[in-house]
Structure 1
Amino acid sequence: MLENRSCESCLVFARSCQEETKWAYMYNGKRPLELADSDGCCRGNKLSKLYDSSNDDNNTDTSSPQDSRDLVLPDSRYQSYGDIKQSDSASGLDSSIIHHHPIGLDETDLNNRSDDDRLSDSVEDSAKEQSEDDDDDNSFSDPPEDEEEEDGCRIHAGNGSSDLDALIEPCGRDNSINCLIRCSRSDYGSIASLNRNFRSLVRSGEIYKYRRQNGVVEHWVYVSCRLLQWEAFDPFRHRWMNLPRMPPNECFTFSDKESLAVGTELLVFGKEVTSQVIYRYSILTNSWTLGTSMNDPRCLFGSASLGEIAILAGGCDSQGNILSSAEMYDSETQKWETLPRMTKPRKMCSGVFMDKKFYVIGGIGGVGKDARVLTCGEEYDLETRKWTEIPNMSPGRSGAAGDAEMPVPAGAPPLVAVVNNELYAADHADMDVKKYDKERKSWLTVGRLPERAVSMNGWGLAFRACGDRLIVIGGPRAFGEGFIELNSWAPSEGPPQWNLLDRKQSGNFVYNCAVMGC
């Protein structure tokens, strides 16, 4: 096992591509050069036939044959954020020229360049320069006689194995993927530009399936502080990336919206003139499309995701009727499945996954004069497909005598999040952080929220789990102070000591926030 360390061979690609030095892949059919240790010795690792065969027709190199040289793989030493262990300085990456795109792909490249022209200009210039320097030394050779063309891809004669399955050929496909899944999502744009095989692995989303299967997860924060505009934040490299602007729709723009990240998608729920609508952002295409409608369209629901699935429960329909129905979304198939109904209808509730079960917490039940705050929660077991009511699960109300005695507040749904299967809540009124005691079914105050994490009755403040940390996103309400702060705390490290991740000029009201782990 690689134990969460990026494979050395992966770093050769990114390093050579960014530093514009020696090649670490094949370009226009040319063979790779040698990279040596500081003492001039080679380690003997070889890398071959990593190239985009679509360029073969344009290859006019007439260099005389010469043995291919060995590639030396550099040492890898990294520091970690969450489950991804990496360091720009150790890997040799120039952080100033890494593509700042939610999967590392440059937005201009995505929109304006064809698949066969994705290699960066810097790599192409480096290739021309290197070719001129080495012509006299016959550094490159034509393909060996034991290789032949088949469907535009080179194969070894007699083995029938095309480079579409090779990736990093000496390592084999499985080991190659083991290397790639441990690279940061920020590097996937550079990796995808190396050749057709890597590009297909990244842009098809296959690489994220392998990451999920191997328990490799990297969490990015998606936040909207302006109407129709979303930004992604990479907590490991402390970088912001602008998402494409959402499609303009006047009714949708000014309606209340809810968001949810599941798999490699960001779902935003809102209203059109006569119905609810879902917009779906994919990190694979860097674009917005209309999402699949729910079986029972709703708003003001509780929701949470676990890998590629998400559950939505409760809420109200377009006529304002409070719902007890629930459904599950599969981001792989983009389909909704109706689940059994909850024991009680509720809206303005929150949802979390904990211990591989889905929980809906708090909310408002009843209609008109019978409306009341629900202090109970409900647990949905995905195996038995049954709901179980849990008393006193709403934070801040655990000592209440009963649901009927609670007045309906004007505040936001409960601000709750789960880290390491422990449930936490942000008490916006007292600026406290609370933890849920599963055995006693009660809430305990464990510390304070960041001082600048102010809100309007809970609105405008984000409280989310981000890997093994809790994050709070908000800004001051003071006039003229247009910025937000991202603070994080790892509960495993003791009582709340908030670490400022970043401060960004922005609107200081957080409309929506979601955390995507993939």
Structure 2
Amino acid sequence: MSTGEAGLGNQQNPSLIPGLPDEIALECLVRVPYRFHSEIKSVCRRWRNLLMHPSFYRERQRTGTAEQLVCLVQALTTSAEPTIELAVEGNDEQQQDKRQTRRGHCPPIYGVSVYNLSMDTWHQLMLNRANGNGVPIFSHCVALPLSGKLVLLGGWNPDTLDSVPDVYVYDFIRGGGWRRAAPMSMGRSFFACAAVGPSTVYVAGGHDNQKNALRSAEMYDADAAEWQALPPMAEERDECKGFSCDDDGRFWAVSGYGTESQGRFKSDAECYDPALGSWSKVEEVWPFQSASPRAITATAGGRWWFVSGGGESRGVMEYDMKEKHWKALTSILDSGMRSSPCVTTLRGARGDHDKVFVMDSDGGKLNDGVDSDRHRGFVFMPDWESSTTGTGNGNSNGKWIQLHTPTNFSGFAYSASSLLI
């Protein structure tokens, strides 16, 4: 970190820590765990200014002290289902005889869970909307790592189940909780989205309130807090998967299906190049017609990883954009994994290799024999040498690590994103 970036070396400012050179004091402060940052911001104005500057968090990454956060749009778990009383007509005796109760399933309440991989801790970022608690169902979360922001987009209104255009932003650096941002041009859900560059989020496809698949696309500039329309894609793409590759800055919308072909996933993708301002179609990149592409995530070197627990694609598959083909990277962890788990790439720091975070059902049974809907977290660590040279056998090119997942963070996860802070 340069001294000018964070006001270090300013002769009018007191030392960061009395008795220590600022360079040594900075080495101490970057090692303070993130959970204490809100408290140490209140120590003095200079500490506050330092910890609210992005360069401080870049220094944490440079020194290897940054913490890996995984953000999940996740159904909140409850200890019991609601009981709904059914009113019946008739006299008191008839009512007494006929009154009944049933176990009712209300729409789930979603929140944003944060798993700190570095500290092995979980917490929730609750959002209180103007018309209720919880985040929109099936909303997407997209992290902007360089600015330390998390953007929450679209999904369903929990009460009406209509698609919403709502956008919320959480700033991990400046704090202050969630703020409502400029909405998308229309309500949409099950769309492709991804961060491209330091402050931009791209959105494309999905469906509207009438379940019509969409071609439209738009771009959100988190710094300017405004949306800009993009040219529409060539085809409708509901349930497409979006991601970007750091090496070229392009945005991908993979597979999806049209209004009249629900559930039959396309084999192609469309790619938006900001430099050209246009989309191009890429044929034959998705060979799994019956599998949703939601479990794709992009990694370094122009690779896509697809994690699947079922069908012909069972295991971790890798797509090399240069070679334009899929190969088996490793076998799946166990038979309990679903066919379409929630995944995100964990970017490596200080030269470390990328890993993949996976959140999925445990596929187990409760004590009474009922299927368990408890979800658990994993990290998949590939064998990068075998993956790069192609010397692996498809069954041992990496290892799985199961994470401690408390019961109250074991709900279904729809979207995930990660950042170093």
Instruction: Please indicate, yes or no, whether the TM-score normalized by the shorter chain is above 0.5.
Output: yes
* Residue 503 (structure 1) aligned to one of 384, 405, 411: 405
Alignment correspondent of 2:334: 451
* Residue 240 (structure 1) aligned to one of 100, 118, 122: 122
1:194 Cα deviation (Å)? Answer: 3.2
1:340 Cα deviation (Å)? Answer: 2.5
Alignment RMSD = 3.9
Does residue 472 of structure 1 match 2:345? Answer: no
1:375 Cα deviation (Å)? Answer: 0.8
1:303 Cα deviation (Å)? Answer: 1.1
Give, in whole Å, the separation in 1 of the partners of 2:278 and 2:205.
15
* Residue 332 (structure 1) aligned to one of 217, 223, 229: 223
Q: Provide Cα deviations, 1:337-390, integer angstroms capped at 9, x if missing partner.
A: 22222232211000111123221111112x326985211112222222232211
Alignment correspondent of 2:343: 463
TM-score, with structure 1 as normaliser: 0.58
1:309 Cα deviation (Å)? Answer: 1.9
Give, in whole Å, the separation in 1 of the partners of 2:216 and 2:266.
16
Give, in whole Å, the separation in 2 of the partners of 1:328 and 1:217.
29
* Residue 300 (structure 2) aligned to one of 420, 433, 451: 420
Q: Aligned letter for 1:469?
A: K
Q: Which moved more, 1:262-271 or 1:463-472?
A: 262-271
1:243 Cα deviation (Å)? Answer: 2.3
Give, in whole Å, the separation in 1 of the partners of 2:225 and 2:31.
27
Runs (5+) with no aligned partner, structure 1: 3-49, 51-158, 398-405
Alignment correspondent of 2:417: 514
Q: Aligned letter for 2:13?
A: D
Give, in whole Å, the separation in 2 of the partners of 1:269 and 1:448.
34
Alignment correspondent of 1:382: 274
1:250 Cα deviation (Å)? Answer: 5.8
Q: In the superposition, relative to structure 1, how do residues 288 and 511 fare at CA in structure 2: closer, same or farther (>3 Å)?
A: same
Larger RCO, structures 1/2 (Cα 8 Å, 6+ apart): 2
Alignment correspondent of 1:434: 317
Q: Aligned letter for 1:301?
A: F
Q: In the superposition, relative to structure 1, how do residues 453 and 385 fare at CA in structure 2: closer, same or farther (>3 Å)?
A: farther
1:383 alignment partner, SS class = coil
Q: Provide Cα deviations, 1:221-268, integer angstroms capped at 9, x if missing partner.
A: 122241233321111121222323543746976743332223412414
1:290 Cα deviation (Å)? Answer: 2.2
Alignment correspondent of 1:315: 206
Alignment correspondent of 2:99: none
Overall identity of the aligned pairs, in %: 21
Give, in whole Å, the separation in 1 of the partners of 2:55 and 2:151.
18
Give, in whole Å, the separation in 2 of the partners of 1:379 and 1:331.
22
Give, in whole Å, the separation in 2 of the partners of 1:387 and 1:217.
36
* 1:118-267 alignment runs, 5 A limit: 161-163=11-13, 167=16, 185-186=34-35, 188-189=37-38, 191-203=40-52, 207-208=56-57, 218-223=67-72, 224-226=74-76, 227-247=109-129, 249=131, 255-262=137-144, 263=147, 264-267=149-152
Aligned residues: 348
Given that 1:486 and 1:501 are in contact with CA atoms closer than 8 Å, whether structure 2 keeps it comes out as: yes
Q: Aligned letter for 2:308?
A: D
Given that 2:69 and 2:418 are in contact with CA atoms closer than 8 Å, whether structure 1 keeps it comes out as: yes
Alignment correspondent of 2:285: 393
Alignment correspondent of 2:169: 280
Greater helix percent: which structure?
Answer: 1
Q: In the superposition, relative to structure 1, how do residues 250 and 502 fare at CA in structure 2: closer, same or farther (>3 Å)?
A: same
Q: In the superposition, relative to structure 1, how do residues 426 and 388 fare at CA in structure 2: closer, same or farther (>3 Å)?
A: same
Given that 1:453 and 1:472 are in contact with CA atoms closer than 8 Å, whether structure 2 keeps it comes out as: no
Q: Provide Cα deviations, 1:397-421, integer angstroms capped at 9, x if missing partner.
A: 3xxxxxxxx6xx5x64431112223
Q: In the superposition, relative to structure 1, how do residues 386 and 479 fare at CA in structure 2: closer, same or farther (>3 Å)?
A: same
Alignment correspondent of 1:361: 254
* Residue 379 (structure 2) aligned to one of 462, 487, 491: 487
Greater strand percent: which structure?
Answer: 2
Alignment correspondent of 1:304: 194
2:413 alignment partner, SS class = coil
Given that 1:225 and 1:512 are in contact with CA atoms closer than 8 Å, whether structure 2 keeps it comes out as: no
Given that 1:452 and 1:475 are in contact with CA atoms closer than 8 Å, whether structure 2 keeps it comes out as: no
1:201 alignment partner, SS class = helix
Give, in whole Å, the separation in 1 of the partners of 2:223 and 2:208.
26
1:375 alignment partner, SS class = coil
Q: In the superposition, relative to structure 1, how do residues 474 and 275 fare at CA in structure 2: closer, same or farther (>3 Å)?
A: closer
